[in-house]
Amino acid sequence: MTAGEPKLSGGLPTRFPIFPLPGAILLPNGNLPLNIFEPCYLHMTRDAMRTDRVIGMIQPRLPAASRRPSLFPVGCVGRITSFTETDDGRYLITLTGVCRYDVVEELSVGTPYRQVVASFDRWQCDLEPPTPPDSLRPPLLDALRRYFDVYEINCDWNQIEAAPLGGLTTSLAMICPFEACEKQALLEAADHEQRCRILTSLLQMGALGCKDPSAGARH
């Protein structure tokens, strides 16, 4: 990233480093905690902190065993909103999602981390997302209760029921351990309403199929 890079409204550069991570998505206004310990990503984080504090999260296409796996075409860019360095040299950061992007081109760079040129044109709605209709809340909560019951997950239902539907959908979509392709469907949903409907369906299928809930979180 250099001075003079073209930027989206809101100050986002169209060229930025990416962090390919299977089974993990960032969504606009979501917060993603990351434990950075690999040398290439320590380098990436230092460079980001010196410039726009921007990192693009994106999922590699599975299998991701190679050193340079192919990528899904859509990711989400976030800003580093908290940063701590540990005694053993790791970085504990939080990325706050700003806007989704389409990968236009992966650059040939000398850095140990990957960089892309991205377009935000398709995702301008992320900057002022519409509120999903509250009629979607009852089926979502019903599916969530069934899912949590099957996998014996405890939670604070008072907090969940009081949460704004958009924020609840974002948080659940990010933390629930779905498969990478399912995570990608949640990421690429047109808006909060469609994402809430997809999330409800995934929770329903997960409860009925009794899938291993950790499958989508393995790296």
Q: pLDDT per position in the chain (219 positions), as tens?
A: 444 455 554 589 999 999 999 999 999 999 999 999 999 999 999 999 999 999 999 999 976 566 788 999 999 999 999 999 999 999 999 999 999 999 999 999 999 999 999 999 999 999 988 889 999 999 999 999 999 999 899 999 999 999 999 999 999 999 999 999 999 999 999 999 999 999 999 999 999 975 544 443 333
Residues 88 and 180 placed together within one structural domain of the fold:
no
Residues 25 and 118 placed together within one structural domain of the fold:
yes
Domain boundary among 65, 98, 127: 127
Lookup: tokens for 108: 């040939």
Rounded alpha-carbon distances, angstroms, from residue 146 to 33, 150, 174: 27, 6, 19
Distance CA(181)–CA(203), nearest Å, equals 15
Residues 21 and 45 placed together within one structural domain of the fold:
yes
Which CATH number is 16's domain given? 2.30.130.40
By three-state DSSP, how is residue 219 classified?
coil
Pairing of the two strands 54-58 and 15-20? parallel
Amino acid at 149: D
Q: How many CB atoms lie within 10 A of CB 200?
A: 22
Residues 114 and 13 placed together within one structural domain of the fold:
yes
Residue from 19, 178, 201, 181 nearest 111 by CA: 19
Q: What does pTM read for this prediction?
A: 0.89
Range of the domain at 151: 134-217
Residues 30 and 84 placed together within one structural domain of the fold:
yes
Residues 98 and 195 placed together within one structural domain of the fold:
no
Residues 106 and 26 placed together within one structural domain of the fold:
yes
* Domain count along the chain: 2
